[in-house]
Amino acid sequence: MDDPRRTESGLPVEPVYGPDALAGWDPAERLGAPGAYPFTRGVYASMYTGRPWTMRQYAGFGTARESNERYHRLVEAGTGGLSVAFDLPTQMGYDSDDPLAHGEVGKVGVAVDSLEDLRLLFDGIPLGEVSTSMTINAPAAVLLLLYQLVAEEQGVPGDRLTGTVQNDVLKEYVARGTYIYPPAASLRLTTDLFAYCRAELPRWNTISISGYHMAEAGATPAQEVAFTLANGVEYVRAAVAAGLAVDDFAPRLAFFFVARTTLLEEVAKFRAARRIWARVMREEFGARDPKSLMLRFHTQTAGVQLTAQQPEVNLVRVTVQALAAVLGGTQSLHTNSYDEAIALPTEKAARLALRTQQVLAHETDVTATVDPFAGSYAVESMTDDLEGAALALMARVEELGGAVRAIEQGYQKREIEQAAYAVAQGVDAGERVVVGLNRFQAASEEPYEPLRVDPAIEQEQAARLADLRARRDGAAVARHLDALRAAARGDANVLPPMREALRSLATVGEVCGALREVWGVHRPSDAF
C-alpha cells in the first residue's frame, strides 16, 4: 500500500485498536446474531459449522467437448459446483463464424453457438444434482434457456435446477465492456428473466450483481461495495417498476465480489456489504422476507494481483485471498490458478487451486466457529469505516440520478480509473511492494509451458454451424425469431419466444441479432 497506515480504500489504519475504538457501539444494532438482521455476522446461523462453502471452480476453453472433459475431472477432484467461462464471441452474442469473432473463438472460455454445443458441454453431467454458475451477461437469458432445454432432455424439470447466471450488464458499462443493448433494454431483459425464473426455475439465482470486475479494473474495496450495491438498487427498482413484488424476486438475487491479499480490509468489506444491503432492502423497498435482506455472494480471488513473474508465489497470494473470503463469510468460492497471469490454467494448476480450498475447509479450524472476527476492535472499526465510505459513494450515485444515470455520465468509470492510476503509480515508484515484480525479483525464471488453444477450433465451430443450418427447419427458426422480435417491440416477456427459437436450433448470434434489430446497440458517450 502507498501508506502502511492506510487501507486500499484510503481509510486510516491505527497501529493499535482498543476498547475506545468501539465506544458507544451497540453490538445488537451493528452485529445481530449470525443469520439474523443486519447479517453482519453472516447470512446463515450455522455458516460453515454445518457444511463448508461451495467450492466452485471457473473453467471453460476451446470447444464444448474439451471443456466437458475438464468439468468431469474437476468433479472427480471434489469440486462442489461448476462455473462456466464463455469465449468473447459468445459473451457478445456473436456466432463463431461471424467476422467479428475471428481470432477469439475458444480463447478466454468455451465457444457456445447453439443447443447442440450446450448438450456437449454438459454431456454426462447430471444437471439435477450439480449447481452451475454461468459467467454470462448480455446474452444471459439465451444461455440460461439453453441450459434449461438440455436439462429437459435429461429429464430434469426446471424446479430442480440450481445455479446462477451473472446477468449483470450494468457493470459491463462501467468496467468490462461486453454489453450489447442500451441500458434500458438491458434492464428490460433482466426483469423479464426475473419473472420467467419465478415461474419456471424457482431455485435459480437470477443475477449475480458483480463488483469483481470493477475491482479488477482498479476499484477500491469501498468503490467495489458502493457501485455494486448501487447497481443492485437499480435492478430492484426496475423489477418493482415492471410490476414484480420485491419478496417474489429478491431472495434469488446474488452478488459476486473479489478477495484481495489485504485480508483485514477484505473481511471488513464483506461484513459492511451485508449490513448495507439488509438495511437498503428493508428501509427503501420494504422487503419482509428475511431471504430478501440477505446479501449472499460468490467470491473469486484477485486475478489482477497475480504476477507472471515467479508464478508459484501466486499460490501464497491465492491462499491469503481465499482465507479472507472465508473469514468474510462467502457462500461459494473460486480460487485462481497460479498460472493465470500467463495463460489459461493448466489442469495441474486448476487442481492445486481446488486443493487450496480443501485444505482451508478440512485442515484448519476456520469452519469450527461462526464469524471468528466478531468483536475484534480492529475489524469492527474497519467495517464501520468502510461502511461509511461506501454509503458516501452510494449517496453520490443517487445525487446523479441513480446507477444508470451515473453510468451514462461516466461517474463510476472515472472514479475507478483514478483509483487504478494511483495504484499503478505506487507500483511503478516502488511504494507498493509486489513480490517478484518490483521487489525480491529472481535472477532468472524457470521455463513454463502454457496451455494453448488450437486456432483450428474456429474452423471446426464454423463447420458445425454450417451443418446445423443445413439440417434444421429454417422456416421454423424464422417463425420463432419473428415472434421474438414482436415480443421485444411490445411488453410481453421475451424469454418464452426466445426459448422456442433456441429449441428449433436458432443460434446464439441469431437470437441476439434479432434483439439488436429491435433494441439497437449501446454506443458509449464521450464521458467514457
Helices within 201-262 (DSSP H only):
212-217, 221-241, 246-249
- How many whole angstroms separate alpha carbon 228 and alpha carbon 207? 12
Contact 90, 61 (CB under 8 A): no
Look up residue 523 and give its three cell numbers: 454506443
Q: What is the β-pairing status of strands 163-165 and 204-205?
A: parallel
Instruction: Classify 47 in phi/psi space as left (phi over 0), alpha (psi -120 to 50) or beta.
Output: left
Average pLDDT by stretches of 10, the chain with 528 residues: 75 93 87 96 96 86 88 83 90 97 92 97 93 94 98 97 94 91 94 96 95 96 98 96 95 96 98 98 98 97 96 97 98 94 87 96 97 96 97 98 93 95 95 93 80 85 97 98 98 98 98 98 69
Residue 139: asked if its preceding bond is cis (omega within 30°), the reply is: no
pLDDT given at position 325:
98
Helix (H, G, I), strand (E, B) or coil at 258: strand
pLDDT for 330 equals 98
- What distance in Å separates the CA atoms of residue 507 and residue 485, rounded to the nearest whole number? 15
Q: What is the pLDDT of residue 1?
A: 44
CB 190 within 8 A of CB 238: yes
Residue 363: CB atoms within 10 Å: 8
| Burial label, 283 (beta-carbon count in 10 A; 0-12, 13-18, 19+) | exposed
**To which residue does cell 443492485 refer?**
232
CA pair distance 326, 193, nearest whole angstrom: 30
Q: Is 492 helix (H, G, I), strand (E, B) or coil?
A: coil
Helices (H), 260-346: 263-283, 290-293, 313-327
pLDDT of residue 70: 85
Dihedral of alpha carbons 424, 430, 433, 435, sign: positive
Residue 284 has a pLDDT of 97
